[in-house]
C-alpha cells in the first residue's frame, strides 16, 4: 500500500517588505488586504495554509478578521512567528554601525521567555486558541529557544532550513550571526520537547539548494523538488512564502502587479501538480496525524 503524502503550506505572516525596513521607520501591514486571493487558491485545491503570524500582523484587525473567518471554516491554521526586535518586552542589546535586526537567540533567556509568552498570549487573546506551531524570525533557532517553546506548550517548529548556512545574516549584537544549518538534513527530529519539521529543501550538485518557494524564475526547479520529494521516503512537502510577497511592492521579489500575476501563474502550476499526489494539511494537523510524534512528547 502506497504511503500517504501531505502538503504543508507555511506563510511567514509579517509586515510589509521587512527586507528593506529600517528600525525607527513606520512598519506597514497593508499586505493583510492581499491574503484572500491566496487563501481562495488554497481552498480551490483543499489545501490548508498555516499563517505563522508575528506581532504587527496579530495586532492588525484586518488580518485577524480574515484569519478568524478562515479558522471558523477550518480552511487554515494560525501559528506563531516571532520577530524579536518589535515584540515586547523591549531590551536594549549592544549594537554597532553595521548591526542588523536582532535574533531572539541574542537575548538573555529570561527576555526570550517573556517575548515568547507575550506573542503566545496575544495570539490566544485574538483568536481564542493557543498557538502550538512556530517558525523563528530570520530562521534563528537554538536549544534554549526549543526548550522555551516546549515550556509554553508548542509542539512543532519549522525553522530549520536543511543545507543552508545563515551565518552571513548578521544580528544586532557585534559579531552575532545567524545559524548554520548546512549539516542539517530534511529528517524530522525531536528537540528539547518540540518536533522539528524542516522546510522542504533539496540539495543538488548542479543547482545547489532548491526550495519550494517561488521567486519568479524557479518554476522548473520547484516542479523538480515536487517530483523528487514524491519519489523520496518523506511523507510531507513543505512550501513557504511571506505574506508580504502576496502584495505588489511588499517584497524585493514581487515588486509590481505583473510580478504578482507571475507568482499566481506559478502557484497554479505547482498546486495543480501537488494536488495529484498530496493531501493538504495544516502544520498542527500534520502533527495530530502522526501518533508517534505525540508519543515522543509524553
Query: What does the pLDDT average to over 51-56?
Result: 98
Is there a cis peptide before residue 89, judged by omega within 30 degrees of 0?
yes
**Segment 118-138, tens digit of pLDDT:** 999 999 999 999 999 999 999
User: CB neighbours of 247 closer than 8 A, spacing ≥ 6?
Assistant: 16, 30, 31, 33, 34, 254, 260
Rounded-to-integer distance, Cα 113 and Cα 149, Å: 8
Q: In which band, very low, low, confident or very high, does the pLDDT at 117 lie, cut at 50, 70 and 90?
A: very high
Closest C-alpha among 219, 236, 247, 221 to residue 277? 236
Q: Provide the mean pLDDT of the chain.
A: 96
**Segment 164-189, tens digit of pLDDT:** 999 999 999 999 999 999 999 999 99
Q: What per-residue confidence (pLDDT) applies to 103?
A: 98
Query: What does the pLDDT average to over 248-267?
Result: 98
Question: What would the grid cell of residue 44 be?
Answer: 480551490
Question: What would the grid cell of residue 139 be?
Answer: 530562521
What are the distances in angstroms from CA 292 to CA 185, 274, 288, 297?
A: 20, 25, 9, 9
Rounded-to-integer distance, Cα 145 and Cα 44, Å: 36
Q: In which band, very low, low, confident or very high, does the pLDDT at 80 lie, cut at 50, 70 and 90?
A: very high
Residues recorded for the chain: 298
Residue 60 pLDDT exceeds 60 = yes
Residue 292 pLDDT exceeds 80 = no
Q: What per-residue confidence (pLDDT) applies to 224?
A: 97
Residue 258 pLDDT exceeds 80 = yes
Rounded-to-integer distance, Cα 278 and Cα 125, Å: 33
DSSP state, 41?
H
Q: In which band, very low, low, confident or very high, does the pLDDT at 296 lie, cut at 50, 70 and 90?
A: low
Q: What per-residue confidence (pLDDT) applies to 290?
A: 81
**Segment 10-29, tens digit of pLDDT:** 999 999 999 999 988 999 99
How many C-beta atoms lie closer than 10 Å to residue 62's C-beta? 14
Residue 3 pLDDT exceeds 80 = no
User: CB neighbours of 245 closer than 8 A, spacing ≥ 6?
Assistant: 214, 251, 253, 254, 263
Q: What per-residue confidence (pLDDT) applies to 205?
A: 87
- Ramachandran region of residue 154, left (φ > 0), alpha (ψ -120 to 50) or beta? beta
Rounded-to-integer distance, Cα 139 and Cα 159, Å: 5
Q: What per-residue confidence (pLDDT) applies to 118?
A: 98
Q: What per-residue confidence (pLDDT) applies to 24?
A: 85
Amino acid at each position: 500500500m502506497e504511503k500517504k503524502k501531505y502538503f504543508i503550506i507555511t506563510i511567514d505572516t509579517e509586515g510589509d517588505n521587512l527586507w528593506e525596513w529600517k528600525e525607527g521607520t513606520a512598519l506597514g501591514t497593508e499586505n493583510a488586504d492581499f491574503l484572500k486571493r491566496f487563501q481562495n487558491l488554497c481552498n480551490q485545491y483543499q489545501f490548508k495554509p498555516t499563517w505563522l503570524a508575528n506581532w504587527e500582523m496579530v495586532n492588525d484587525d484586518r488580518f485577524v478578521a480574515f484569519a478568524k473567518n478562515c479558522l471558523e471554516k477550518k480552511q487554515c491554521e494560525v501559528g506563531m512567528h516571532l520577530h524579536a526586535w518589535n515584540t515586547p518586552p523591549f531590551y536594549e542589546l549592544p549594537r554597532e554601525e553595521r548591526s542588523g535586526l536582532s535574533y531572539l537567540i541574542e537575548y538573555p533567556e529570561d527576555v526570550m521567555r517573556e517575548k515568547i509568552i507575550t506573542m503566545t498570549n496575544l495570539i490566544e487573546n485574538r483568536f481564542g486558541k493557543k498557538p502550538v506551531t512556530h517558525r523563528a524570525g530570520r530562521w534563528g533557532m537554538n536549544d534554549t529557544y526549543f526548550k522555551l517553546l516546549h515550556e509554553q506548550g508548542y509542539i512543532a517548529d519549522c525553522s530549520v532550513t536543511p543545507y543552508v548556512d545563515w551565518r552571513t545574516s548578521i544580528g544586532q549584537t557585534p559579531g552575532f550571526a545567524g545559524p548554520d544549518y548546512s549539516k542539517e538534513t530534511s529528517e524530522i527530529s525531536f528537540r528539547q520537547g518540540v518536533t522539528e519539521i524542516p522546510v522542504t529543501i533539496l540539495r543538488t550538485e548542479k543547482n545547489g539548494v532548491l526550495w519550494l518557494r517561488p521567486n519568479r524564475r524557479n518554476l522548473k526547479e520547484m516542479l523538480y523538488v515536487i517530483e523528487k520529494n514524491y519519489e523520496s521516503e518523506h511523507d510531507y512537502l513543505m512550501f513557504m512564502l511571506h505574506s508580504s510577497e502576496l502584495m505588489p511592492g511588499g517584497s524585493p521579489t514581487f515588486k509590481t502587479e505583473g510580478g504578482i500575476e507571475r507568482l499566481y501563474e506559478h502557484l497554479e502550476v505547482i498546486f495543480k501538480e501537488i494536488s495529484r499526489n498530496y493531501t493538504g494539511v495544516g502544520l498542527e494537523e500534520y502533527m495530530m496525524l502522526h501518533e508517534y510524534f505525540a508519543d515522543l512528547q509524553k
